[in-house]
């Protein structure tokens, strides 16, 4: 049994959902070695391998919550 604080890595979730390939993840992880502190999700988005929307959906899965698309607009009268 895994501890309650264990979460599946975001890269693995992206692969399972078919949003990224293993090769793309490996390339992103290799790049991450040269960019300490940068999150793998941001790297994959920056490389164009996944979209921000894909990443947010994967984070929702990782956290066990529903993904909700919200639109907040500002309209001046």
21-76 tens-digit pLDDT: 999 999 999 999 999 899 999 999 999 999 999 999 999 988 887 776 655 555 55
Residue 58 lies in a domain: yes
What gap in Å lies between CA 11 and CA 50, rounded to an integer? 11
DSSP string over 36-52: TT--HHHHHHHTTSS-H
By residue range, what is the domain housing residue 50? 10-63
Could you tell me if residue 2 is inside a domain?
Answer: no
How far is residue 17's CA from residue 35's CA, in Å, rounded to a whole number?
26
pLDDT for 68:
65
Number of domains in the chain: 1
Q: Region 1-24: what's the mean pLDDT?
A: 86
Q: Is residue 72 part of a domain?
A: no
Phi/psi of residue 51, nearest 5 degrees = -95, 165
Instruction: Kindly report the pTM of this predicted structure.
Output: 0.77
> Is 32 part of any domain?
yes
């Amino acid at each position: 049994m895994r501890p309650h604080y264990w979460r599946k890595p975001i890269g693995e979730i992206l692969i399972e959902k078919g949003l990224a390939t293993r090769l793309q993840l490996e390339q992103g992880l290799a790049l991450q070695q040269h960019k300490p502190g940068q999150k793998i999700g941001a790297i994959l988005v920056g490389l164009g391998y996944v979209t921000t929307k894909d990443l947010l959906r994967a984070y929702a899965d990782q956290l066990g919550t529903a993904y909700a698309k919200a639109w907040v607009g500002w309209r001046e009268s």
